[in-house]
A and B are shown apart, each in its own frame.
Chain A
Amino acid sequence: EPEVTQTPSHQVTQMGQEVILRCVPISNHLYFYWYRQILGQKVEFLVSFYNNEISEKSEIFDDQFSVERPDGSNFTLKIRSTKLEDSAMYFCASKPVTEAFFGQGTRLTVV
């Protein structure tokens, strides 16, 4: 069964460093997303991406965040200068039309 895959599963980075979280969405899906879940809190929407551009973003998704679909398969989330409060599980998701399918997540720890 096709699935959304994310790498790495765990990333530890120093505060102020840049990180890139990678995702391979399901191949025939058209819509791509990043969500995050801070420990003990709910899953929060970050950004949606369709037709090679951002279609919607939350207030969390400020200038330190960017997304890219550099080729036909990968979808990346870049955090330019990480802060301690960026520590969270980051989930990539994709959908064909209706229901979103999520990856297993990348745990980002900023120290």
Chain B
Amino acid sequence: DQQVKQNSPSLSVQEGRISILNCDYTNSMFDYFLWYKKYPAEGPTFLISISSIKDKNEDGRFTVFLNKSAKHLSLHIVPSQPGDSAVYFCAASERNTDKLIFGTGTRLQVFP
């Protein structure tokens, strides 16, 4: 039961260009969405989140867009840097619940 899907297992982007990571969900009860970054042998690190009452949230180089009608969100990183190379997980939660439902992750590689 894949409620949160990240259909691209990997993405390769040149340094300085924009990275766009995509996430789709099926559960219309989700009302909070998060992006986490994970390096090997480390735990997920929180990046940015968005509530379902918004359609955009920006924090420095990171912007998350939410399209509720399409049940789609995306993370934009601009400009991309080599240090951004990691696995990016999309996660979602329903109102009045604690648990996060994670996607399978997208491995981003930023090359010089």
Contacts and interface: CB of A to CB of B under 8 A. Distances in A.
Contacts, number: 52
Interface stretch (A68-76, A78-86, A102-110): A102-110
Interface residues on B, range: 20 to 34
B44 A43 contact: yes
B101 interface: yes
A63 to B, nearest CB: 19
Contacts of B98: 31, 33, 48, 50, 55-56
Given A42-B103, A50-B98, A56-B99, A105 B49 contact: no
Interface of A: 4, 6, 31, 33, 35, 41-45, 48, 50, 55-56, 58, 91, 93, 98-105
Interface of B: 32, 34, 36, 41-46, 49, 89, 91, 97-105
